Amino acid sequence: MLRATLRSFASGPLAVQMRRFVAVGAFTAGIQMGLLWLFEDVAGLNYLIAATIAIEITILLSYVFNNAWTFRARQNTGVSEYFRGMLKTNLVRGTAWPIQIGVLYALVEWGGLTALVANVPAILISGLYRFVLDYRWTWG
């Protein structure tokens, strides 16, 4: 079952959407990293608060890009549908938030990494989870 699912991400009907999701994720992860640096190093916020703000901003940005490009065949159109989808993706990604923040915290506090370095694996670990839930529920 797991092998078949992973294979469908590589070459099945979900492959194009998965590649687009990863491209949007990489782009918004770069923005998230820049915002984390800005909020933590420039503004002096605690790294967990800085990460939370950066995550929410990129959740909204990711929704805009994923709705327009990744899931355009199932795109949320119309004002109420668009904002309902934005609420759904916030709920999906809100459930991924503890995963990302938890990994970030563990790598900073116990692993001795800087917040910027620790944020990379935190984003990657929560990414597949976000794709599956967004695919099935936000644009399902």
* 93 in the same domain as 44: no
* 96 in the same domain as 65: no
According to the model, what pLDDT value does residue 9 have? 64
Instruction: Give the end of a domain, one of 75, 104, 129.
Output: 75
Domain count, the chain: 2
- Is 104 within 8 Å of 50 (Cβ atoms)? no
- Is 51 within 8 Å of 36 (Cβ atoms)? yes
* 103 in the same domain as 134: yes
In sequence order, the 6+-apart residues with CB closer than 8 A to the CB of 130 are 25, 92, 93, 96
According to the model, what pLDDT value does residue 66 have? 93
According to the model, what pLDDT value does residue 94 have? 84
According to the model, what pLDDT value does residue 121 have? 94
Which range marks the domain in which residue 66 is found? 1-75
According to the model, what pLDDT value does residue 1 have? 52
Instruction: Give the end of a domain, one of 75, 100, 120.
Output: 75
* 70 in the same domain as 3: yes
Instruction: Give the end of a domain, one of 46, 75, 104.
Output: 75
* 65 in the same domain as 116: no
Q: What is the pTM of this model?
A: 0.83
Q: What residues in the chain have per-residue pLDDT under 50?
A: none
